[in-house]
């Protein structure tokens, strides 16, 4: 099984097979428009523009499970990204990434790329862990998505290569994207 076995819903309700991205390097991100990590949209867009022609696609999945930071509709989330950060990569319909109603895609991603643990020598990760402990302690357990802007890197064959946590800035793993693009 790989990423191409899944489908996703666009904000207009159309269903897209992820197989349509075969041959591309993918970066799949759960997003939110009212989060401390929301400015990462700017760097995600820069990565997209820098590597789109070489075969990178970024897929954004808005999620309201973390502090209610994506309260509007799927269309609101998509419009916010375009208007505030110039995002041109696809933003899909809102989903759950953890729990009873989690999207099968994210269940697969979490199994394929387990949580590596918090690096408490990194102040951002230490603060993130404290925030999660306070707001959503259930997300500290296992391989659950810990917060908005967890990112998964996928190769051209649909294999999950690596998971990046919210505190991992998109520009910090540009070299890993370049390696996959060849």
| Phi–psi pair at 82, nearest 5 degrees | -65, -50
| Phi–psi pair at 147, nearest 5 degrees | -165, 180
Burial of residue 36 (CB within 10 Å: 0-12, 13-18, 19+) is middle
Three-class secondary structure assignment of 24-81: CEEEEEEECCCCCCCCHHHHHHHHHHHHCCCCEEEEEEECCCCCCCCCCCHHHHHHHH
Active-site hit among 8, 28, 32, 35: 35
Helix, coil or strand: residue 9: strand
| Active-site annotation holds for 63 | no
Active site members? 35
């Amino acid at each position: 099984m790989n990423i191409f076995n899944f489908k996703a819903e666009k904000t207009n309700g159309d269903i897209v097979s992820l197989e349509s991205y075969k041959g591309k390097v993918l970066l799949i991100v759960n997003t939110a428009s009212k989060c401390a990590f929301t400015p990462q949209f700017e760097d995600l867009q820069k990565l997209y523009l820098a590597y789109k022609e070489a075969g990178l696609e970024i897929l954004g999945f808005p999620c309201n499970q973390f502090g209610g930071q994506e309260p509007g509709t799927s269309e609101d989330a998509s419009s916010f990204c375009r208007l505030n950060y110039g995002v041109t990569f696809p933003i899909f319909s809102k989903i759950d990434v953890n729990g009873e109603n989690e999207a099968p895609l994210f269940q697969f991603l979490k199994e394929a790329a387990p949580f590596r643990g918090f690096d408490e020598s990194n102040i951002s990760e230490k603060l993130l862990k404290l925030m999660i402990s306070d707001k959503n302690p259930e997300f500290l357990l296992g391989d659950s998505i810990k917060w908005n802007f967890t990112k998964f890197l996928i190769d051209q064959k649909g294999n999950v290569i690596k998971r990046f946590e919210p505190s991992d800035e998109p520009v910090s793993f540009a070299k890993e994207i370049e390696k996959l693009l060849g």
